[in-house]
Structure 1
Amino acid sequence: MIKVNNLSFSFPQKELYTDVSFTLEEGQHCAFIGTSGSGKSTLIEILMDPEKHLFEGKLEIDPDCRIGYVSQFSQVDPAAEMTVFEYIGEEFIKIQDELTSIYAEMATTSDMDALMEKLQSTMDAFEAMDGDNFENTINKQLNLADLAKLKDLNVSSLSGGEFKLIQVMKEMLVRPDLLIMDEPDVFLDFENLNALKKLINAHKGMLLVVTHNRYLLNHCFNKIIHLEDKEIQEFDGRYIDYNFSLLQTKVELQEIAVAEADEIQRYDQLIDNLREIATNVDNPSRGRALKARVKFQERLEARRIKAPFVAIKQPHIRFGLDPQAEAGVRVTVQDYRAGFGELLLENVNFEIGSNDKVAIIGPNGTGKTTLLRDIFRGEHPSIRIHEGTKIAYLSQLQGETLKDSNTILHEFIDAGFETYDEIRAYLANYGFEGEILEQKIESLSGGEKNMLQLAKVAAAEANLLLLDEPTSHLDLYSQVALEQALIDYKGAILMVSHDFYSVVNGMDYVLIIDNKTIRKMSMRKFRQMIYNNHFNKDYLENEQQKKSLEMQIELALKAADFESAKGLVEELEQLIKLL
């Protein structure tokens, strides 16, 4: 239904795509992935409204293709006076009212032919949406997402996560030929994320979903479009299989690269010998041989295989820690309570030690962000910040810690850096290089803003990190880099996160919100709780084995032991078939 051929597009300050091509066909549930700032949202804008963009190449869209859209920035209108059922069924109710109006007009019209044409067109639109069954369909969708209890509530009373799911349902139910969703998973708690997974998997139409969420990627899609470094790669199949294909390619390319490097080194030595002979012996044939060898060497260098989807540069995140920081308790919370008109939390008690890495887990709207912000401000009577504690804070509301009107360079001058050269050297580790440093923060993508927050947190050399949804908007490579940084950090962490992988890979234990208070849960019990509720009994063991094999493959590649790496890849392929 949609075909893109050799599309190129640039902004005045940045080239986004060069001759990219891909197709979208009926029945495909396609994940659209790529590093932050690579241009995914811009490409979506081009698909939705080609006339507004000056691009080169060819974009073919079936003229009858209806496109629906769910924005990553959708918010509940506090003035909305309709129930959840009325909001989801708004388009159906609107057409029903239109049909009623047409029937009333038919009793008095003198132009029946025009009215009959209008009636037929309206009825066709209603039928295309399966309008006769819309009430039953809405109830089924609410039950599928475990949100039937919300049916008669006012839409303005919903949490952000609940509203996002309701918006997804609304767009799905009008049956567009293609539904585009831009990061619909951001800030969803795990229950809502699982509901989104069910909605995606039950949807019969074509989907294009921008997401960095590993849970959705592993369980929802049958096609991958990967945008990276101005190029696009298509893969028909699951994300887990796509990832495996990249790993296979990486092993093959590294083996070739080592062989090529050896060959180039041999030719370097041969050329050096020929040069020495040509310098000392006046023989034209020696000079011709030297020129031939040099040209062949140049061809070898040019032949080096480019693999942008295999060798993607990961940011290097490293949370600094003042070496003089003393051990001890960092924060004590005693009899804490919070609420805004409605009580959210009460009788909350816990301590964070100097090496504790702790995740706060709970549904949307239960007070997690409020608690974290109160600890950061240090003014709540129930919260004690112990002497010697230095706090760095990452907010899910990026404007709390970043000034939109600043350029990146000015933001880090304000943060205490002394020279632009110092900032450039530091931010290169976080993927910010060249002209982007002169851009204003307001022009950056959500993922780029979050990476800037992480860079500021890391530079603070704090001994307590308060991180509110640190993986939100981050691309997959940055999420993996962040996980490693959390593991390597020697200080204390209190993190609000709905990202299962970051929690289980980087934290020591969780504080889980239950019945308006908080209780401690071991990581082993937390993992079992999640897997028992959402996976079959063997999934946890197989996934842990998969991660172990991937690490062994990486170690084999570092040691240039390609035979072992290839054997491990075959073992991994068999395991992936079980997932």
Structure 2
Amino acid sequence: MIKVDNLSFSFPQKDLFDKISFTLEEGQHCAFIGTSGSGKSTLIDMIMDPERYMFDGTLDIASPCRIGYVSQFSQLDKTDEITVFEYIGADYIKLQNEIASICTEMETSSDIDPLLEKYQQALDAFNAIGGDDFESNIMKQLNLANLGRHENLMVSKLSGGEFKLIQVIKEMLTAPDLLIMDEPDVFLDFENLAALRNLINSHKGILLVVTHNRYLLNHCFDKIVHLENTELQEFDGRYIDYNFQLLQSKIELQELAVADTEEIARNEIVIDNLRAVASVHTEAARGKSLNARVKLLERLEARRIKAPFVDIKQPEIFLDADTGAEETIALKVRGYSASFEDILLENVNFELKSTDKAALIGSNGTGKTTLLREIFKNNHDSIEITEGADVAFLSQLQGEILNESNTIMEEFLDAGFKTYQDIRAYVLKYGFEGEILDQKIGSLSGGEKNMLQLAKISAGKTNLLLLDEPTSHLDTYSQIALEKAIENYKGAVLMISHDFYSIVNCMDFVLIIEDKTIRKMSMRKFRQMIYAKHFDRDYLEIEQKKKAVETKIALALKDTDFERAKILSEELESLIQLF
């Protein structure tokens, strides 16, 4: 259906693709992964509208090929006064009305031939998108997404997560030859994420989905396309199998690198000796021997370069806290209530100690962001932040914290940095280098903007972090780096998140919104609740064993014990086969 062959493309400030190739074939569900800013969205744009771009290589799309698209940036229109059913079925209803109108016109027209042609065109278009059964198909998809009760609900009443699912259903129902979805999981709560998994797995056509969500990656795809450092590789199989293949490559490369390092050291000694001799004796044979050794050293040095897909550099996120020696209460919430048209939260009570890390969770539209913003403003009678606290806020609306008309350089000069050299050295740790520093922030990817927010927060000492969906748009490598930074942070954290892995990897407990109030839940009970609802039986036990073996492999590689790493990788492979 889609064939990309030796495709190369560059912007003036950045090379994106260098002779990349891959195919998408009938029925494949493909996850499109890669670090933020690697060019995933640009490649999608090229597939959807190749005429807009000047590129080398070939991009072949079978004809005819109808492409559906779900954007990561779609917004709910609160003024849209149509029902969910009408919204999803708009294309069908429009064609249905057009066919009925043509039939009415034919009853009184004396020139019926052009009307018959229009009728056939409209009927063909209706049949091409599965019009015969569209009412029942809409209801099947709504029920699959646990949204059957919303059939007659106004679209304006949906939460953001529900609206995203409605968009996915709308695109899937028209049965495009290829459906492209760009981060459809962003901001979805656990229930909606499970519904999205059901929709993806039930879809019969080709899917190309940009996602960094580890839950979807582990449960939805049979092909991986990985774009990194201008290169691309494809893998036919599950994401968990792809990661295992990368780990095996890493063991082999590190073992080779250690052997090469020893060989390089030996050759450097030989070269030094040959140079010393050559400075005294000028025989041609000695010169040839020296040149041969130098070329061997160059080959060994070149081979030490890490493969772009195996050893991807994580950003160095460091969250510095300005805390006292004794543990105190950082935040108290007593009797807090919030309402708009309806009551969102009522009589909410909780507190956060100065080293607590708590996840604030709940369904979309239950008031999480409203509460977090109120805490940041700190002008509500029910909210008390300890005196002298330095609070930092990361917003899911990135333009609130970042001036998108600034360049990265200008943003950090405004933030108090004194020199360009200081900024360059600082933001390099977060993956920003070269000419990208002079780009407008508005042109960056969603993941790059979130990383920039984290870089700004990290630049100052704080003792209370308020994070609203900090992992949204971040690639998996950056998510793991953020989890480590939060785990090592010495202050208090209140984090809104729907990312199960980020919560269990770095939070102490959760504050769950239920029945318009908040209750505290231990991490053990939270894990049990999520696994019971959204994972297969025995998944938790197998995953914990898998993580323990992966930790042992990492330690073995650190100690350069490659034989042990290989034995452990066989144990890991047997666990992976159980998923």
Q: TM-score, normalised by structure 2?
A: 0.98
Q: Which residue matches 1:328? A: 328
Q: What CA distance in whole angstroms lies between the structure 1 residues aligned with 2:299 and 2:482?
A: 39
Q: Which residue matches 2:272? A: 272
Q: Which residue matches 1:207? A: 207
Instruction: State whether structure 2 residue 104 is matched by structure 1 residue 97.
Output: no
Q: What CA distance in whole angstroms lies between the structure 2 residues aligned with 1:316 and 1:412?
A: 17
Q: Which residue matches 1:370? A: 370
Matches within 5 A, 1:326-405: 327-405=327-405
The question of whether the paired residues in 1 share the 8 Å contact of 2:359 and 2:509 is answered with: yes
Structure 1 residues 305, 459: closer, same or farther in 2, change over 3 A?
Answer: closer
Deviation at 1:323, TM superposition (A): 5.5
Q: What CA distance in whole angstroms lies between the structure 2 residues aligned with 1:148 and 1:435?
A: 49
Instruction: Name the amino acid aligned to 1:345.
Output: L
Q: Which residue matches 1:123? A: 123
Structure 1 gaps, min length 5: none
Q: Which residue matches 2:181? A: 181
Deviation at 1:299, TM superposition (A): 3.0
The question of whether the paired residues in 1 share the 8 Å contact of 2:336 and 2:347 is answered with: yes
Q: What CA distance in whole angstroms lies between the structure 2 residues aligned with 1:37 and 1:560?
A: 33
Instruction: Name the amino acid aligned to 1:118.
Output: K
Structure 1 residues 530, 514: closer, same or farther in 2, change over 3 A?
Answer: same
Deviation at 1:201, TM superposition (A): 0.4
Q: Which residue matches 1:552? A: 552
Deviation at 1:305, TM superposition (A): 5.5
Q: TM-score, normalised by structure 1?
A: 0.98
Q: What CA distance in whole angstroms lies between the structure 2 residues aligned with 1:481 and 1:4?
A: 32
Task: Find the residue that maps to 2:453 and give its secondary structure.
Answer: helix
Instruction: Name the amino acid aligned to 1:12.
Output: P
Instruction: Name the amino acid aligned to 2:270.
Output: L
Matches within 5 A, 1:87-236: 87-236=87-236
Q: Which residue matches 2:8? A: 8
Instruction: Name the amino acid aligned to 2:312.
Output: I
Q: Which residue matches 1:532? A: 532
Superimposed CA distance per residue, residues 530-562 of structure 1 (whole angstroms, 9 cap, x where no aligned partner): 001112231001111111111111111111110
Q: Which residue matches 2:60? A: 60
Structure 1 residues 113, 549: closer, same or farther in 2, change over 3 A?
Answer: same
Structure 1 residues 291, 499: closer, same or farther in 2, change over 3 A?
Answer: same
Deviation at 1:113, TM superposition (A): 4.0
Instruction: State whether structure 2 residue 408 is matched by structure 1 residue 408.
Output: yes
Structure 1 residues 23, 162: closer, same or farther in 2, change over 3 A?
Answer: same
Q: What CA distance in whole angstroms lies between the structure 2 residues aligned with 1:345 and 1:569?
A: 49
Deviation at 1:5, TM superposition (A): 1.0
Structure 1 residues 63, 282: closer, same or farther in 2, change over 3 A?
Answer: closer
Instruction: Name the amino acid aligned to 2:427.
Output: L
Q: What CA distance in whole angstroms lies between the structure 2 residues aligned with 1:538 and 1:255?
A: 34
Q: Which residue matches 2:510? A: 510
Q: Which residue matches 2:47? A: 47
Deviation at 1:418, TM superposition (A): 2.0
Q: What CA distance in whole angstroms lies between the structure 1 residues aligned with 2:118 and 2:46?
A: 32
Q: What CA distance in whole angstroms lies between the structure 2 residues aligned with 1:285 and 1:235?
A: 49
The question of whether the paired residues in 1 share the 8 Å contact of 2:315 and 2:431 is answered with: yes
The question of whether the paired residues in 2 share the 8 Å contact of 1:376 and 1:466 is answered with: yes
Deviation at 1:279, TM superposition (A): 2.6
Q: What CA distance in whole angstroms lies between the structure 1 residues aligned with 2:302 and 2:533?
A: 53
Q: What CA distance in whole angstroms lies between the structure 2 residues aligned with 1:406 and 1:121?
A: 50
Structure 1 residues 114, 191: closer, same or farther in 2, change over 3 A?
Answer: same
The question of whether the paired residues in 2 share the 8 Å contact of 1:325 and 1:388 is answered with: no
Q: Which residue matches 2:244? A: 244
Task: Find the residue that maps to 2:3 and give its secondary structure.
Answer: strand
The question of whether the paired residues in 2 share the 8 Å contact of 1:407 and 1:441 is answered with: yes
Q: Which residue matches 1:484? A: 484
Matches within 5 A, 1:250-289: 250-289=250-289
Task: Find the residue that maps to 1:8 and give its secondary structure.
Answer: strand
Q: Which residue matches 1:468? A: 468
Deviation at 1:416, TM superposition (A): 2.0
Q: Which residue matches 2:76? A: 76
Q: What CA distance in whole angstroms lies between the structure 2 residues aligned with 1:261 and 1:124?
A: 67
Q: Which residue matches 1:427? A: 427
Task: Find the residue that maps to 1:427 and give its secondary structure.
Answer: helix
Deviation at 1:104, TM superposition (A): 2.0
Task: Find the residue that maps to 2:563 and give its secondary structure.
Answer: helix
Structure 1 residues 304, 353: closer, same or farther in 2, change over 3 A?
Answer: closer
Task: Find the residue that maps to 1:430 and give its secondary structure.
Answer: coil
Q: What CA distance in whole angstroms lies between the structure 2 residues aligned with 1:290 and 1:399?
A: 59
Deviation at 1:296, TM superposition (A): 2.7
RMSD, aligned α-carbons: 1.4
Superimposed CA distance per residue, residues 508-551 of structure 1 (whole angstroms, 9 cap, x where no aligned partner): 00000010000000000000000011122310011111111111
Superimposed CA distance per residue, residues 240-293 of structure 1 (whole angstroms, 9 cap, x where no aligned partner): 111111111111111111112222221111111222222334544323322222
The question of whether the paired residues in 2 share the 8 Å contact of 1:183 and 1:212 is answered with: yes
Deviation at 1:8, TM superposition (A): 1.2
Q: What CA distance in whole angstroms lies between the structure 2 residues aligned with 1:282 and 1:545?
A: 64
Matches within 5 A, 1:451-462: 451-462=451-462
Structure 1 residues 366, 279: closer, same or farther in 2, change over 3 A?
Answer: same
Superimposed CA distance per residue, residues 411-432 of structure 1 (whole angstroms, 9 cap, x where no aligned partner): 1122222222111111111001
Task: Find the residue that maps to 2:546 and give its secondary structure.
Answer: helix
Deviation at 1:437, TM superposition (A): 1.3
Q: Which residue matches 1:562? A: 562
Q: What CA distance in whole angstroms lies between the structure 2 residues aligned with 1:424 and 1:465?
A: 25
The question of whether the paired residues in 2 share the 8 Å contact of 1:161 and 1:188 is answered with: yes
Instruction: Name the amino acid aligned to 2:416.
Output: G
Superimposed CA distance per residue, residues 214-264 of structure 1 (whole angstroms, 9 cap, x where no aligned partner): 110000011111111111110111111111111111111111111122222
The question of whether the paired residues in 2 share the 8 Å contact of 1:359 and 1:497 is answered with: yes
Instruction: Name the amino acid aligned to 2:446.
Output: G
Q: Which moved more, 1:543-552 or 1:320-329?
A: 320-329
Deviation at 1:457, TM superposition (A): 1.2
Superimposed CA distance per residue, residues 82-113 of structure 1 (whole angstroms, 9 cap, x where no aligned partner): 11011111111111112112222323445544
Instruction: Name the amino acid aligned to 1:310.
Output: V
Q: What CA distance in whole angstroms lies between the structure 1 residues aligned with 2:365 and 2:439?
A: 34
Instruction: Name the amino acid aligned to 1:235.
Output: F
Instruction: State whether structure 2 residue 293 is matched by structure 1 residue 296.
Output: no
Q: What CA distance in whole angstroms lies between the structure 1 residues aligned with 2:178 and 2:483?
A: 34
Q: What CA distance in whole angstroms lies between the structure 2 residues aligned with 1:316 and 1:296?
A: 35
Deviation at 1:405, TM superposition (A): 1.4
Q: Which moved more, 1:135-144 or 1:7-16?
A: 7-16
Q: What CA distance in whole angstroms lies between the structure 2 residues aligned with 1:138 and 1:102?
A: 25
The question of whether the paired residues in 1 share the 8 Å contact of 2:323 and 2:463 is answered with: no
Deviation at 1:459, TM superposition (A): 1.4
Q: What CA distance in whole angstroms lies between the structure 2 residues aligned with 1:121 and 1:439?
A: 47
Q: Which moved more, 1:284-293 or 1:194-203?
A: 284-293
Q: Which moved more, 1:364-373 or 1:305-314?
A: 305-314
Q: What CA distance in whole angstroms lies between the structure 1 residues aligned with 2:217 and 2:450?
A: 21
Q: What is the number of equivalent residue pairs in this alignment? A: 579
Q: What CA distance in whole angstroms lies between the structure 2 residues aligned with 1:333 and 1:125?
A: 57
The question of whether the paired residues in 1 share the 8 Å contact of 2:322 and 2:491 is answered with: no
Q: What CA distance in whole angstroms lies between the structure 1 residues aligned with 2:332 and 2:549?
A: 40
Deviation at 1:130, TM superposition (A): 2.1
Task: Find the residue that maps to 1:107 and give its secondary structure.
Answer: helix
Instruction: Name the amino acid aligned to 2:548.
Output: S
Deviation at 1:303, TM superposition (A): 4.0
Instruction: Name the amino acid aligned to 1:248.
Output: Q
Instruction: Name the amino acid aligned to 2:106.
Output: M
The question of whether the paired residues in 2 share the 8 Å contact of 1:253 and 1:305 is answered with: no
Task: Find the residue that maps to 2:85 and give its secondary structure.
Answer: helix
Instruction: Name the amino acid aligned to 1:238.
Output: R
